[in-house]
Amino acid sequence: MVVSEYPLTGRFDSLSAAFCGCGAGHLPKDHWQATFGMPEDPIDLVGDLVQMGHYSGESINFAKSLTQAEFKKALLLQMIDKAEPSQKAICEQLIKLAGGVEEAFGAAFGPNASEFFADGYRVGAFNRRDFLIKVAASAAIVTLASCGGNQSQSPTEPSPSGNAATDKLEKTDLTIGFIPIACSIPIVIAEPQGIYKKYGLNVTLKKMPNWAAVRDSAIAGELDAYHMLSPMPIAMTLGLGSGAFPIKLASIENINGQSIAVAKKHLGKVKEAKDFKGMTIGVPFPFSMHNLLLRYYLASGGLNPDKDVSIQIVPPPDSVAKMAAGQMDAFLMPDNFGQRVIFEKIGFIHMLTKDLWPGHPCCAFAASEKWIGANPNTFRAVNKAIIDAASYVNNPANRESAAQTMSDRKYLNQPEPVLKAVLTGKFENGQGQTLEVPDRIQFEPYPWKSFAYWIASQMVVWNLMPTEKAKYQEIADQIYLTDLARELAKELGQTPPSDPTRVEKLKFGDFDPANVEGYIDGLKKKFQV
């Protein structure tokens, strides 16, 4: 379909539904230029635009219904032995997925058909590509209806030829920035374990001194992708603390894995949140889970985090030295530094952050919207590699060997006993106790959109984000690539959650992403903030 008033190149001819000016959720006329630098192949471009949210839900649902109808027809023809070769290929995939002909037929026409077909069209390269063709075709039909049927436009169907996105990498030599902390292990361990090479990638890992350097290098284009704090993609995309620079959060690097450590001189004096009054406390970055969780905890004890304590921004590698020098009373940092103060006999662990919010996110793997647009297949491959690496290190059987590998100077440069204590969850807390907490740190890459909702809500509470920018669902849907993470996990044979959000269970009350404003109001009343 050609929209004559737009000076588009031929590769967009079949995708003009995505550029309609009718206001039906497509790229508006003044934004079509943003697609330059994105894939030349029309169907790969559709895939990117789907991830970017430029196709309406109506178009996606229409494509799903077309796909389901085709699959059902194929199964019926297979049953009466009249299926064409292409239909037989679909049937074979569905039958394999379901575990047999009868099971496939039952699943296709049963109450869970939608979920079965959702898995079905992700099974193979042909099905995914065919589905994206249907998305483009569906968008064309929806657009024609929305525009009243412009007779100057005639639909054309893109060619289904070509390989799947992961079969052709735009770039194989990558530089990924990371901070040397336990949270970065999936990104880092993928190199010595050969996981990047498994996906055709040659990755150079670049140590960064602090989170501001990660942010600045990302904006300057000096890195291909990055290890980031999970609030950072939100802050950078919205222009909080820097110029607006759209970032996508691809997968979560770790959940839990942080602790509040306190200088030894306060042993026996600090037992709850209110006891931190008057102290100097370090966090790694303003837009960090560390800062947000610390404020949440202090407020629970009746303290105003901006008045009753002094919160300082400290690069994680400097935190132990500053505590040893008496410059900080406490810090909320990645667990290898909380454990390091015990190793150095200068402090103790007051609390693991998992006790504030079991399963909370911390760090993430991210890349810029621009880079993803220019390298969609490479992005898919590197994200898949990191999800694969997260699964490797999340296995308890691999924790001790991971601690040994990551202790190396070129990786985290931390004492092996410290990393072993963090990764195995068997540790001394500096208060005369030996604890065993297997989920002290976990590496579960699924980016729940409810994480984004909570993070954004706390940015509003603590005046880190103006309320007019707090479009919670938009933030979650545009920045957290949950659907892609789920798809890649399934390709790896994993069983990721099917829901994008959940009710989060925090120490001082549940967080329901469906009622963010109510949660904020309740929090302010409870904590008097």
Residue 236, number of CB atoms within 10 A of its CB: 24
Residue 298, domain extent? 258-360
> Which pLDDT tens digit goes with each residue over 152-179?
333 322 223 333 444 589 999 999 999 9
Answer with the residue of higher pLDDT: 2 or 519. 519
- Same domain, yes or no: 344 and 382: no
Answer with the residue of higher pLDDT: 516 or 152. 516
Show the beta-strand stretches assigned E in 114-182. 173-178
Q: What is the CATH number of the domain that holds 396?
A: 3.40.190.10
- Same domain, yes or no: 144 and 233: no
Q: What is the DSSP string of 228-280?
A: EETTHHHHHHHTSSSS---EEEEEE--EE-EEEEEEGGGTTT--SGGGGTT-E
pLDDT of 67 > 50? The answer is yes
Tell which of 339, 360, 381 closes a domain.
360
- Same domain, yes or no: 400 and 512: yes
Residue 233 lies in a domain: yes
pLDDT average, residue stretch 304-315 = 97
Tell which of 309, 335, 360 closes a domain.
360
Q: Mean pLDDT for the chain?
A: 84
pLDDT at residue 327, rounded to an integer: 97
pLDDT average, residue stretch 261-278 = 97
pLDDT average, residue stretch 375-400 = 98
- Same domain, yes or no: 240 and 379: yes
397 DSSP assignment: G
Residue 373 lies in a domain: yes
Tell which of 120, 153, 186 closes a domain.
153
- Same domain, yes or no: 225 and 273: no
- Same domain, yes or no: 236 and 221: yes
Residue 340 lies in a domain: yes
CB 447 within 8 A of CB 251: yes
Residue 162 lies in a domain: no
Instruction: Pick the range with the lowest mean pLDDT from 133-147, 232-246, 331-345, 350-364.
Output: 133-147
Residue 102, number of CB atoms within 10 A of its CB: 10
- Same domain, yes or no: 298 and 268: yes
> Which pLDDT tens digit goes with each residue over 430-457?
999 999 999 999 999 999 999 999 999 9
Instruction: Pick the range with the lowest mean pLDDT from 2-6, 178-182, 288-292, 347-351.
Output: 2-6
- Same domain, yes or no: 95 and 186: no
CB 368 within 8 A of CB 218: yes
pTM for the whole structure: 0.70
- Same domain, yes or no: 399 and 350: no
Residue 161 lies in a domain: no
Nearest Cα neighbor of 118 from 151, 150, 94 is 94
What is the rounded CA–CA span in Å between residue 285 and residue 313? 6
Answer with the residue of higher pLDDT: 181 or 132. 181
> Which pLDDT tens digit goes with each residue over 114-137?
566 666 655 554 566 666 777 777
Instruction: Pick the range with the lowest mean pLDDT from 101-105, 123-127, 505-509.
Output: 123-127
What is the rounded CA–CA span in Å between residue 333 and residue 325? 17
Residue 239, number of CB atoms within 10 A of its CB: 12
Residue 159 lies in a domain: no
> Which pLDDT tens digit goes with each residue over 396-435?
999 999 999 999 999 999 999 999 999 999 999 999 999 9
pLDDT average, residue stretch 367-387 = 97
Residue 50 lies in a domain: yes
- Same domain, yes or no: 369 and 481: yes
pLDDT at residue 311, rounded to an integer: 98
- Same domain, yes or no: 20 and 137: yes
pLDDT at residue 120, rounded to an integer: 63
SS3 content of the chain, % helix, strand, coil (to 5): 50, 15, 35
What is the rounded CA–CA span in Å between residue 215 and residue 223? 10
- Same domain, yes or no: 231 and 277: no
Burial profile 404-436: b = 16 or more Cβ within 10 angstroms, e = fewer: ebbbeeebbebbeebbbbbbbbebbbbeeeeee
158 DSSP assignment: P
pLDDT at residue 505, rounded to an integer: 97
pLDDT at residue 144, rounded to an integer: 55
Based on the structure, what is the number of domains in the chain?
A: 3
> Which pLDDT tens digit goes with each residue over 281-306?
999 999 999 999 999 999 999 999 99
Rg (CA), the chain: 25
What is the rounded CA–CA span in Å between residue 401 and residue 378? 29
Residue 36 lies in a domain: yes
Answer with the residue of higher pLDDT: 79 or 243. 243
522 burial level (CB within 10 Å; 0-12, 13-18, 19+): middle
